[in-house]
Amino acid sequence: MAPYKMLHPLLFLSALIALSEQRSHTFRSPGPVERLLRLDQRLAGFEKRAKHTTHTKLAALFSDDARVKYPFDTPTATLRPTRYEIPLGGNVTLSCFVDGSDNWTILWYRAATYGSKDEPMTEYEGKKAINVSQGGIYHCRGRSDSGSITHQSNAAIIEDTLPITAILTLKPNWTKIYMGETFTVRCDIQGGEGTYWSYDWRPKRFTTYYTTNERTFYNVGWDDNGDYQCRGKTDLSFTQWSNVIPVTVSFKLHPVLTLSPSWLSPGASVTLNCEVEYPSEGWSFSWYKAVPYYKITEEPYTYELLPDGSKTAQSLYIITGQTSTAAYVCRAERGSNYYYTYYSDPKFVWSADASSAASLTVGPVVQNFGSDFVKLTCKGNSSSWRVRKFPENGRPYCSNFWLSGESVCTIDTTYSDDGVYWCESMLKEFSNAVNITLQDFYSGPLMVVPVDPVNEGTFVSLSCNLRRKKIFPNVAFYHNDKLVQNDSREELNFLAVSKSDEGFYKCQYSGKESPSRYMTVKSTVPPEIFSQNESSENSPLHPGSAAVYESANKNGRHWKWKLSVKPYSCFRLWWQSCSSYTL
């Protein structure tokens, strides 16, 4: 410590002047407080100098010009780069320089760990750039020819890579991860036992170092997709990055249920099979019976767990003693947090046997507005029914309504409504099922006649089709069950249809007969014979009187006409004058 007991008066005075003027200075390292202390210690060396010279030097210390060369300002060394990770077998070049002059001898220092002492690296003394391959915290200083030393440089944190590779594992080790599931990644470092490790993870969004070697992701979603890696870190060293495990998160799984047989036979059992992707990856299965739900606009069925049907290890479930139509679904689950898949679509096992509790009957083909319809009728104990069909093909088929009493569903055979039909009740009952193939419903051809009435005297052509496909020659046509044509002609033609041609028509092809259809003929022949009623034949017409006439045509059809005379009306042709009265 300097021999002076108090701060030198000149130095104290200069400091007071600077503070009183509240001047803002830009100092280079070291700071103003450190300068004051150092100057106080060295002031004995300046005592012999002229007072005005000392004052000038001190005033320059507080100059606004940051680039002023201070006689007592100690330079600082700069080290680059400030941080670097050395790959395995690699190195990095460190450069040290001092501003203002190149006439400095560079001194190098290294601390092996955080908090450890800097050790001089004498082998590199005097070199402005060095190559290093060891991790550590590096510093440098400059030393002048006179022996003065610069301030210590900034730190260069160099981390090296150890010849150890981390090993990443995925738990559970599933091929595919589904949305909502949970998985864990684990990082193990073989050969690093007994060392305290922290862990670095990829993808890049995981930037925090973790002190545990496991990370668990719950209820995963799209953000958890990525290529996962890890490495261990101890002080200033890293292991090599681990193997890559790609994680792809997929939509929630929808299992597929199949059953056999589809149609029940006496004494036969029914086998259900719930199929999922990668069935060996720890799945368990639950089995349910689907029962009709009264809010059909929301879900057509609710699900009731079958006996011993919860979390079975096998993907098969066998039902014995089933005698009536029924529907089933399944669901799969896996993992310690019990991830559940969606329910499967309902699958049905059908019975053709009707019961008094629920039955479906199929009516005969009926005609309405030129189209053929089939009526399905539900009967049984329940007061409300609906008719269902498989497959639905996007059409409701009466299934969106609960109908009270005897429910009737009408099928338009114009559309392709092939499928299995059955009834369901609000009492959770299923009727017998009926497999209807409308393509061959009639087991024969269709008679095609005009839908609207035809005008008498016009040309009309009738044909015989097999469901939208025209049948070629050798077709027999019948009118009111009487054969009218049976030859090579493809159609039954009427050049001028008459009223006598009205009636039922049907056709035969390959021994199969079509349903009968009715053709209506509308008469358009005007009256030809007129006769005045005897009571009015000789009566003159006068205002307010009337005459009755009769008319008939060649077909024998009769009409009566009544002619009234109204007063003060004028009826005439263009060449006639107006009379006092008109018809």
3-23 pLDDT tens trace: 444 545 555 555 554 444 443
Higher per-residue confidence, 209 vs 135:
135
User: How confident is the model at residue 438, as a pLDDT?
Assistant: 64
Give the mean pLDDT of the chain.
Answer: 76
User: How confident is the model at residue 137, as a pLDDT?
Assistant: 96
Closest CA to 234 of 132, 165, 159, 167: 159
Residue appearing with tokens 């990443």: 168
Closest CA to 409 of 422, 419, 418: 422
Instruction: Give the range among 32-36, 303-307, 380-384, 473-477 with minimum mean pLDDT.
Output: 32-36
**Confidence band for 49, pLDDT divided at 50, 70 and 90:** very low
Taking phi over 0 as left and psi of -120 to 50 as alpha, with beta for the rest, 480 belongs to left
Strand-pairing partners, residue 106, are: 142
Euclidean distance between CA atoms 408 and 398, whole angstroms: 9
**Average pLDDT of the residues in 59-87:** 66
Distance of CA 9 to the CA centre of its chain: 83
Euclidean distance between CA atoms 68 and 122, whole angstroms: 33
**Average pLDDT of the residues in 474-479:** 90
Instruction: Give the range among 301-310, 382-391, 450-459 with minimum mean pLDDT.
Output: 382-391
**Average pLDDT of the residues in 181-189:** 92
Euclidean distance between CA atoms 532 and 377, whole angstroms: 58
**Confidence band for 65, pLDDT divided at 50, 70 and 90:** very low
Express each pLDDT in 274-284 by its tens digit.
Answer: 999 888 888 99
User: How confident is the model at residue 20, as a pLDDT?
Assistant: 46
**Average pLDDT of the residues in 337-350:** 88
**Is the CB of residue 212 less than 8 Å from the CB of residue 230?**
no
**Confidence band for 338, pLDDT divided at 50, 70 and 90:** confident
Higher per-residue confidence, 394 vs 578:
394
Q: Is the pLDDT confidence value at 46 over 80?
A: no
DSSP string, 244-274: -EEE-EEPPP--EEEEE-SB--TT--EEEEE
Euclidean distance between CA atoms 499 and 506, whole angstroms: 18
User: How confident is the model at residue 95, as a pLDDT?
Assistant: 95
Q: Which helix (H) or strand (E) holds 68?
A: none
H helices, E strands: number in the chain: 4, 47
Q: Is the pLDDT confidence value at 531 over 60?
A: no
User: How confident is the model at residue 58, as a pLDDT?
Assistant: 44
User: How confident is the model at residue 285, as a pLDDT?
Assistant: 94
Instruction: Give the range among 52-66, 284-298, 526-540, 552-566 with minimum mean pLDDT.
Output: 52-66
Euclidean distance between CA atoms 12 and 525, whole angstroms: 138
Distances (CA, A) of 170 to 228, 277, 284, 286: 9, 19, 20, 27
User: How confident is the model at residue 357, as a pLDDT?
Assistant: 77
**Confidence band for 372, pLDDT divided at 50, 70 and 90:** low
Q: What percent of the chain has pLDDT over 70?
A: 68
Strand-pairing partners, residue 178, are: 250
Distances (CA, A) of 496 to 111, 286, 319, 507: 117, 72, 67, 21
Joined tokens for residue 545: 């009187």
Distance of CA 190 to the CA centre of its chain: 42
The three-point CA angle 164-169-175 to 5° equals 145
User: How confident is the model at residue 5, as a pLDDT?
Assistant: 46
The three-point CA angle 98-101-105 to 5° equals 65
Closest CA to 175 of 277, 257, 95: 277
